[in-house]
Amino acid sequence: MLSAKLGGKFDKYITKLLPKNVSPNTYTLLGLIVTIIASLFLAFGYFILGGLFIFLAGFFDMADGAIARTTGRVSEFGGFLDSVIDRYADLLFFFALCFHYYHVRNVFLFLCTLFTIAGSILTSYVRARAEVFLNQKCNVGIIERPERILFLGVGGLFDLFNYIIPILAILSNLTVFQRIYYVWKKTEALRQVRE
């Protein structure tokens, strides 16, 4: 997964492009504004512009963490706010696509987008519940938010949503089941130890 492989490797490059005296939370909120703009483009079928703004929103999503780490301003609230804004961003992107496919009467892609929404929400929810329940990280699964953003950006820029959305619908929900299976294996191992 991209988040595990890349981590903070681009921090030094990102921080060269942006003023460091701006609060990381400000970049988080700027990312939300860009997300809203991207979603409006998607909703009305301007996919290339939507794709560009999706990548710009993704840049700000990386920027808040990069600025926080390089300036020593990492905070629990900042991490919490970033996570909440990420969920809003996911929903905005996919609801915008639902709106578009509803109005152009593309039932297949409308339904695929709904399944993608379910998968993206449950991917985050299952991880949160698993980490509380197991008291350890639950990063397993084929696709997380960075991959979804990459898929969406590419889909918009190259007008590939006809292919990207069904793929996301499958992979997002597959990730949910991978995490459920992971938790089941862990709980079974714990049960056997207790016995």
Catalytic sites, residue numbers: 86
Q: How far apart are CA 133 and CA 17, in angstroms?
A: 40
Question: CA-CA distance, 25 to 38, in Å (whole number)?
Answer: 20
**C-alpha 72: how far from its chain's center?**
24
User: End-to-end distance of the chain based on CA atoms, in angstroms?
Assistant: 35
Q: In angstroms, rounded to a whole number, what is the distance separating the alpha carbons of residues 81 and 36?
A: 17
Task: Tell whether the torsion through CA atoms of 176, 177, 182 and 186 is positive or negative.
Answer: positive
Whether the CA torsion 94, 2, 73, 60 is positive or negative: it is: negative
Distances (CA, A) of 76 to 69, 71, 81, 108, 176: 12, 15, 9, 41, 26
